[in-house]
């Protein structure tokens, strides 16, 4: 939905923030999963959000994408207030996400999954006509298939893929269209060491103008691919800084890394 | 493949070895693909040949009562398979949509109730009836897409029952309990479509049209999106699809199919009354769709043939008052032994005899 940017929005646009959260909260009854959370991610910035299980990271993603409405606060995407927008409008505006546990269409082929992802952010979602061989949607889906190295299983139902391949497909679907900000929710979960190395290569190879936010428990990965790190604890922001600052912060070490070390 | 081989393949980063060995599986017909090839096989030619030759050998009774009735009911049930099997929306109001088409046909066209029917020519009355019924189908969709599962069934049942009582109680337009008698198929280009053979071919043409329309749409972007919404609406929303709008559009397509079926069924009966849209018919359409199987558009037609055969001949096996028991028993047996209906039984039989390796070809995708 196109909106005319007002003076306040123009000011935000000029600051170059891809995403800005202003005092965002999300409660489930008495439980405050995210509480008064404010932060901004610059265009082209790569950010990690880390924190112990239950810190509110995935809920934060759900509020950003609109899967959950914010109880209070504002979500601005490239200056536009999208707080009241449904998820599909935010996606069409250039926001993408992957899910912690793969939410793929298991009976459809890998190609069809990517085709759906491309079609979802393109025109012709309601088309009753079959796409021709020269269709740009097909070409885009093929491009994604190669990008995430799944060409050899393109015709297979997703249910037949290994866990690692399903995670790769999730990332491929997030890259459909022209994403401006991608939210990766634990993309390395359950991957083998070799697959993790491939993931790091894939994330580092993303175009520089593309921002992403990464939830990741594996700090080796998180700290190797991001510019800044936000630490969440009990639904609130605990720290923010460069990977080196966060790694050496005694409070973070005690709360988060200490727990990770024992896991 | 041993666990070590699998691990090595995964650690090598490609997974090709693993995939190559496990991926030859039977296709799952319930999900259509964008470009899955479906070549014309001998069985397709045989079925079409049988359908075309059927009136040449069958008696007028079989042609009309069994053939035409099955195809008309199958078309209405196809609209439910389209919605339920591929869209995950089980609507009990598809017979209501068909009934609206029948009533509108009687109101705008000719019937025995000259005082109420406008008496317009069939080529005006039929399109009007289909458009109005499609709009009603879309409106029912708009009302019910906010619900899921059992609630969709309940809300569409409520709409169906409400329409039944409207028909029963409204005398000024819908002629109340009497409904409209003598709503007959017209004579077109000198061919009297009331005759069993011409009427059979008319219904066959519409049934084939509905079948191929459903097949085509289910493989088009819209149809694949529908199946995506059935499997995971939240994910589809997160891919940029307006799930509610898609569901309403699916109701519109299903409404169109049901409306055409409704016109044909009204012509078949020669009348439309509140009984045509009563609760038993709402349920019968569901029974037909489930009996045949909701995993392929051919399912409702197979279900309709079995249903009509039972309804027609069960009376020869058992007392007039108890023939519904036979229908219920057969329905129960099929659903118990095969939740996918008769198509599921067929698939189970084929998997027992996999020698014709066609069944084991991998699925296609975008090529």
Residue A2 has pLDDT above 50, yes or no: no
In the beta sheet, which residues pair with residue A21? A39, A75
Name the average pLDDT for chain A: 84
Residue A3 has pLDDT above 70, yes or no: no
CB A26 within 8 A of CB A34: yes
Provide mean pLDDT across the span B93-121.
93
- Residue count of chain B: 367
The predicted pLDDT at position A262 comes to: 43
Please give the Cα distance from A49 to A47 (Å, whole number).
Answer: 7
Chain centroid offset of residue B173 CA: 29
Question: Can you spell out the DSSP letters for A3-64?
Answer: ----HHHHHHHHHTEEEEEEEEEEEETTEEEEEEEEEEEETT-EEEEE--TTSSHHHHHHHH
Residues of B in contact with A155 (CB under 8 A): 362-365, 367
Taking the CA atoms of A169, B221, B72 and B99 in sequence, report the sign of the dihedral they define. Answer: positive
Contacts 24+ apart (CB under 8 A), A33-40: A33/A59, A33/A235, A34/A59, A34/A60, A34/A63, A34/A235, A35/A234, A35/A235, A35/A236, A36/A73, A36/A236, A37/A73, A37/A232, A37/A235, A37/A236, A37/A237, A38/A73, A38/A237, A39/A230, A39/A237, A39/A240, A40/A15
A112 touches chain B (CB under 8 A): yes
What percent of chain A clears pLDDT 90, i.e. is strictly above it? 24
What percent of chain A clears pLDDT 70, i.e. is strictly above it? 90
The predicted pLDDT at position A13 comes to: 45
Angle between the B243-269 and B221-231 helix axes, to the nearest 10 degrees?
110
Question: Can you spell out the DSSP letters for B119-147?
Answer: ---HHHHHHHHHHHHHHHHHHHHHHHTT-
Question: pLDDT digits over B196-209, tens only?
Answer: 999 999 999 999 99
Write down the residue that tokens 């319930």 correspond to. B30
Helices (H), B145-278: 150-169, 196-219, 221-231, 233-237, 243-269
Compute the nearest-CA separation of A229 from chain B (Å). 25
Q: Which of B11, B34, B235 sits opposite A131 (nearest CB)?
A: B34
The predicted pLDDT at position B19 comes to: 32
Dihedral of the alpha carbons of B314, B317, B318, B324, in degrees to the nearest 10: -20
> Do A88 and B241 make contact, defined as CB atoms within 8 angstroms?
yes
Dihedral of the alpha carbons of B183, B185, B190, B196, in degrees to the nearest 10: -120
Please give the Cα distance from B250 to B160 (Å, whole number).
Answer: 18
* Residue among B200, B261, B279 nearest B76 (CA): B261
In the beta sheet, which residues pair with residue A22? A74
CB A185 within 8 A of CB A58: yes
The predicted pLDDT at position B367 comes to: 26
Q: How confident is the model at residue B269 (pLDDT cuts 50, 70, 90)?
A: very high
Q: Which of B15, B228, B245 sits opposite A162 (nearest CB)?
A: B15
Q: Which of B28, B216, B240 sits opposite A120 (nearest CB)?
A: B240
Question: pLDDT digits over A179-232, tens only?
Answer: 899 999 988 888 888 888 888 888 888 888 889 999 987 777 887 889 889 988
Please give the Cα distance from A172 to A202 (Å, whole number).
Answer: 10
A220 touches chain B (CB under 8 A): no
> Do B12 and A149 make contact, defined as CB atoms within 8 angstroms?
no
Query: Tokens in use for A186?
Result: 């634990």
Compute the nearest-CA separation of B251 from chain A (Å). 13
Question: pLDDT digits over B51-61, tens only?
Answer: 998 888 989 89
* Residue among A201, A171, A163 nearest A187 (CA): A171
In the beta sheet, which residues pair with residue A77? A19, A80
Question: Is A17-94+179-263 a CATH 3.40.50.1860 domain?
Answer: no
Q: How confident is the model at residue B346 (pLDDT cuts 50, 70, 90)?
A: confident
| Out of A8-12, A165-169, A208-212, A224-228, least confident range | A8-12
A247 touches chain B (CB under 8 A): no
Residues of A in contact with B221 (CB under 8 A): 115, 119, 124-127, 129-131, 137
The predicted pLDDT at position A183 comes to: 93
> A113 or A52: which carries more pLDDT confidence?
A113
Residues of A in contact with B16 (CB under 8 A): 152
> B315 or A115: which carries more pLDDT confidence?
A115
The domain ranges of chain A are: 17-94+179-263, 105-171
The predicted pLDDT at position A53 comes to: 83
The predicted pLDDT at position B5 comes to: 40
**For testing contact with chain B, the best of A100, A106, A118, A126 (most B CBs within 10 A):** A126
* Residue among B74, B327, B53 nearest B211 (CA): B74
> Do B234 and A125 make contact, defined as CB atoms within 8 angstroms?
no
Q: Give A240's DSSP letter.
A: E
Please give the Cα distance from A234 to A144 (Å, whole number).
Answer: 37
**Does the global pTM surpass 0.95?**
no
Question: pLDDT digits over A60-109, tens only?
Answer: 999 999 999 999 999 999 988 999 999 999 999 899 998 877 788 888 88
A139 touches chain B (CB under 8 A): no
B243: nearest CA partner in chain A: A88
The predicted pLDDT at position A15 comes to: 52
């Amino acid at each position: 939905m196109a909106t005319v940017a007002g003076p306040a929005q123009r000011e935000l646009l000029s600051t170059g923030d891809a995403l800005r959260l202003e005092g965002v909260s999300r409660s489930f009854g008495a439980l405050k999963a995210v509480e008064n959370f404010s932060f901004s991610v610059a265009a082209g910035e790569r950010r990690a959000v880390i924190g112990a299980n239950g810190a509110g990271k995935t809920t934060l993603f759900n509020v950003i994408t609109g899967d959950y409405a914010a109880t209070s606060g504002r979500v601005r995407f490239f200056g536009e207030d999208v707080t009241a927008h449904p998820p599909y409008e935010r996606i069409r505006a250039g926001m993408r996400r992957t899910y912690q546990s793969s939410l793929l269409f298991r009976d459809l082929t890998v190609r069809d999954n990517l085709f759906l992802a491309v079609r979802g952010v393109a025109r012709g979602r309601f088309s009753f006509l079959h796409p021709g061989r020269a269709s740009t949607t097909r070409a885009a889906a093929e491009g994604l298939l190669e990008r995430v190295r799944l060409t050899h299983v393109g015709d297979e139902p997703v249910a037949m893929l290994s866990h690692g391949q399903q995670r790769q497909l999730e990332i491929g679907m997030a890259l459909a269209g022209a994403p401006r900000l991608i939210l990766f929710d634990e993309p390395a979960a359950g991957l083998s060491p070799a697959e993790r190395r491939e993931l790091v290569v894939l994330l580092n190879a993303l175009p520089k103008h593309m921002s992403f936010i990464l939830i990741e428990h594996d700090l080796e990965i998180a700290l190797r691919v991001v510019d800044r790190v936000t630490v969440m604890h009990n639904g609130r922001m605990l720290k923010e800084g460069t990977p080196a600052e966060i790694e050496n912060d005694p409070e973070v070490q005690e709360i988060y890394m200490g727990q990770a070390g024992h896991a | 493949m041993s666990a070590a081989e699998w691990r090595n393949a995964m650690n090598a980063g490609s997974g090709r070895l693993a995939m190559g060995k496990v991926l030859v599986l039977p296709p799952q017909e319930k999900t259509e693909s964008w470009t899955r090839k479906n070549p014309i096989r001998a069985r397709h030619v045989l079925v079409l040949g049988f359908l075309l030759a059927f009136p040449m050998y069958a008696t007028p009774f079989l042609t009309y009562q069994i053939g035409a009735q099955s195809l008309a009911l199958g078309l209405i049930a196809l609209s439910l398979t389209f919605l339920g099997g591929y869209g995950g929306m089980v609507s009990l109001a598809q017979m209501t949509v068909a009934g609206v088409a029948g009533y509108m046909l009687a109101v705008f066209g000719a019937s025995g109730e000259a005082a109420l029917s406008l008496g317009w020519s069939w080529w005006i009355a039929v399109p009007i009836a289909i458009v109005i019924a499609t709009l009603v189908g879309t409106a029912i969709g708009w009302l019910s897409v906010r619900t899921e599962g059992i609630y969709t069934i309940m809300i569409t049942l409520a709409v169906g029952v409400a329409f039944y009582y409207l028909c029963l109680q409204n005398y000024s337009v819908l002629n109340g309990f009497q409904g409209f008698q003598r709503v007959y198929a017209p004579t077109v280009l000198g061919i009297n479509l009331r005759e069993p053979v011409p009427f059979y071919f008319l219904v066959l043409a519409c049934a084939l049209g509905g079948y191929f329309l459903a097949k085509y749409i289910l493989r088009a972007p819209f149809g694949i999106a529908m199946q995506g919404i059935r499997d995971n609406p939240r994910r589809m929303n997160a891919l940029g699809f307006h799930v509610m709008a898609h569901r309403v559009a699916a109701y519109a397509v299903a409404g169109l199919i049901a409306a055409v079926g409704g016109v044909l069924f009204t012509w078949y009966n020669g009348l439309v009354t509140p009984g045509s849209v009563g609760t038993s018919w709402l349920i019968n359409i569901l029974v037909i769709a489930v009996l045949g199987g909701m995993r392929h558009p051919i399912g409702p037609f197979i279900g309709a043939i079995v249903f009509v055969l039972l309804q027609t001949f069960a009376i020869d096996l058992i007392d007039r008052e108890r023939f519904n028991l036979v229908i219920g028993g057969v329905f129960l047996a099929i659903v118990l032994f095969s939740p996918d209906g008769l198509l599921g039984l067929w698939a189970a039989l084929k998997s027992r005899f996999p020698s014709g390796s066609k069944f084991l070809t991998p699925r296609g995708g975008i090529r």
